[in-house]
A = this chain, B = another copy of it.
Amino acid sequence: MNLAKQKLVKIIDNALEEDIGRKDITTRAIIGDKTTGKAEIIAKETGIIAGVELADMIFQRLNQAIEFKTKVSDGIEVKQGDMIAEVVGPAAAILEGERVVLNFMQRLSGIATKVKQYQQLIKEYPAEIYDTRKTTPNLRSLEKYAVRVGGGKNHRFGLDDAILIKDNHIQLAGGIKAAINLVKESVSCYKKVEVEVESLEQVKEALAAEADIIMLDNMSYDMLEQAVELISEQAIIEASGKITKENLVEVAKRGVDVISLGCLTHSVKALDISLNFK
């Protein structure tokens, strides 16, 4: 998945410790170290799978004797009953890892499924689906990965990763021009400058100050249209704020380059997946 490995291992280990705690008292009372078993991870509804490679890593951290046979890769659409992977090895360890594996996979697959749906809705428009920083604390890299699996793209990973001048910044700097100048002085020339605007007046100020990207926040369809026309090729155009499944197509129609949605990660329905021993 190419996520930074050390951090991923720490996330996995913490999650296993959170769930197993001192010991799985039920499993260890019933199942000996030597007992092996075979289990299947099965989709219980239609959706896009994300987290298969991660599931493998989780079982590996728990017990290297577990063999994980991937049947479906991340990004593939499954239907109810499809086998996602087969898990063979020490039965106790498989049971101890089950819940953690499913908790991760169900959430990531839920995100990927939602992104794919949204992307399909606007596939005839140039706009691309982007995520936001409205992610689950400490799972941002994984959730942004799931967004990519679903066909979306990633907005900045953190406050250090890209410049985004928001209304509070503008207010405290005393205007868009002042804010952009302050940023250009202190940050290196290696960063693009994005500014959030709420009116056509502000769009013009942002263009005058040579912003690289202009985020149109929560605008009416009408204003959106005018803003897109004003900006044209002079900057990348992002639409954001209160965009949902319902108004997504209308926004896309206005010709923006990017549509960013918080709901892709902050309000997710888990995809139903289960692990069954055979």
Contacts and interface: CB of A to CB of B under 8 A. Distances in A.
A138 B171 contact: no
Interface stretch (A5-13, A72-80, A81-89, A223-231): A5-13
**How many chain copies?**
6
Which of A24, A166, A172, A179 has the most chain B CB atoms inside 10 A of its CB?
A172
A87 B194 CA distance: 27
A207 to B, nearest CB: 17
A120 interface: no
Contact of A23 (B3, B140, B179, B266): B3
A137 B100 contact: yes
Interface residues of A, number: 93
Contacts of A159: 19-21, 23-27, 96, 99
Contacts of A154: 188
B189 A30 contact: no
A267 to B, nearest CB: 4
A47 interface: no
Contact of A21 (B96, B103, B160, B270): B160
Interface of A: 2-7, 11, 13-31, 33, 35, 37, 62, 91, 95-96, 99-100, 102-104, 106-107, 110, 130, 133-141, 153-166, 168-169, 171-173, 179, 182-183, 185-192, 194, 213, 236, 257-258, 263, 266-270, 277
